[in-house]
Amino acid sequence: MSFVQVIKALQVQNKYKDTFLQPYLARLEKEHEGTFSPEQKFKIQKYYGVFIPAILCNSYKNLYGENLTDSERKRATLFGILTPIGDDLFDVDKLPIDKITALTFKPEAYNATLFSEKVTKEIQGILLNSVPHKAAYIAASKAVLDIQVETEKQLSATISQAEIEHITYTKGAVSVIIYHQCLDIVADQQMLDALFYIGSLYQLGNDLFDVYKDTRDQIYTLPNTCSDFTALRIKFIERVKEQNKKIMALPYPIKRKNRFSIIMNNVNARSLVAIDEWIALEKKCGGQIDFKNKTRKELIIDMEKPRLIIKWLYYTWQLPKL
């Protein structure tokens, strides 16, 4: 039943990509006289503008016994455009924090000149004027902005493991929370607690698959600074258990919570497969992996391999039971 829900949600969102997302991206490029980079378009059309609204936002509403409305879908999709653009304001455009703050909270008064600024100004303006719970959305926006500033520390070789862990978990948490606060129903504290664990695991999962890119760009993450992936696996499992407890404590029917847990853990199952692959490489290297001296092929995990797909499905079945 959970997989049927996921497939149906993706089918609906893919149709929405054709009818709204792609035409809107084309209009933004024409009106603001610029272009999205191939990497931005890939992230928007494959992940943030499709997967996140379909899987994450749709699952939130199904947990509450409701369907994603048209207005919620539009807001979630718009934020899907904003997510990689917002990241690039920091990483590519190198905008000062005071400018990004002004663009985030007072977009209508911002003098935008760059294409990315113009896109952010338009979309953030729409969201601030249309979210039903503006205070919750603003609070979530501030949390995203604050942790984005902290991620600069990950460019320093002297960053501690504790700092990396804090940034990783918090960045993931605020990322999934803000998508929720785009919806008609605001997340209460109990839901926020569950979302913190869901998001923190998702960010760790992203880092597990981005080891090559992060190492190349000299970004220090939990995986590419890990000296013991078996120990990381144990910590990962413990966080999954805690996440599951938080989900099951939510005041909703058990069938809905079980379905929600399966869908949320589907991503974690991929991450656990990745950890197993890093453990195997670690053993092959006779100890700690020297990431900087490994080839791209050695640091890319191909989840299309049949044995990894089988393992992923097995873990998807097992993790919700923890």
Spatial neighbors of 46 by CB under 8 A, at least 6 apart, are none
Task: Please tell me whether residues 169 and 226 are part of one structural domain.
Answer: no
Q: Model's pTM, two decimal places?
A: 0.93
Could you give the CA distance from residue 288 to residue 16 in angstroms, rounded to a whole number? 45
pLDDT digits (tens, 9 = 90+) for 176-232: 999 999 999 999 999 999 999 999 999 999 999 999 999 999 999 999 999 999 999
Could you give the CA distance from residue 121 to residue 287 in angstroms, rounded to a whole number? 49
Q: Structural domain of residue 133, as residue ranges? A: 1-187
Answer yes or no: is pLDDT of 5 > 90. Answer: no
Answer yes or no: is pLDDT of 3 > 80. Answer: no
pLDDT digits (tens, 9 = 90+) for 85-126: 988 898 888 899 999 999 999 999 999 999 999 999 999 999
Task: Please tell me whether residues 28 and 104 are part of one structural domain.
Answer: yes
List the Cα angle 211/217/220 in 5-degree steps: 60
Answer yes or no: is pLDDT of 1 > 80. Answer: no
Alpha helices, DSSP H, located in 106-188: 115-130, 134-150, 161-180
In a domain, 115, yes or no: yes
> Would you state the pLDDT for residue 2?
74
Ranked by mean pLDDT, the top range of 5-19, 78-92, 233-247 is 233-247
Cα distances (angstroms) measured from residue 270 to each of 148, 255, 308: 25, 23, 9
List the Cα angle 117/213/174 in 5-degree steps: 55
In a domain, 193, yes or no: no
And the tokens for 169?
Answer: 């978990």
- For residues 47-67, average pLDDT: 94
The number of folded domains in the chain is 2
pLDDT digits (tens, 9 = 90+) for 40-49: 999 999 899 9
In a domain, 315, yes or no: yes
Residue ending a domain, choose from 187, 208, 235: 187
List the Cα angle 103/150/241 in 5-degree steps: 115
Please, what is the average pLDDT of the chain?
95
* Residue 108 near residue 125 (C-beta atoms within 8 A): yes
Task: Please tell me whether residues 183 and 207 are part of one structural domain.
Answer: no
Least confident window among 3-7, 44-48, 264-268: 3-7
- For residues 156-183, average pLDDT: 96
- For residues 52-79, average pLDDT: 95
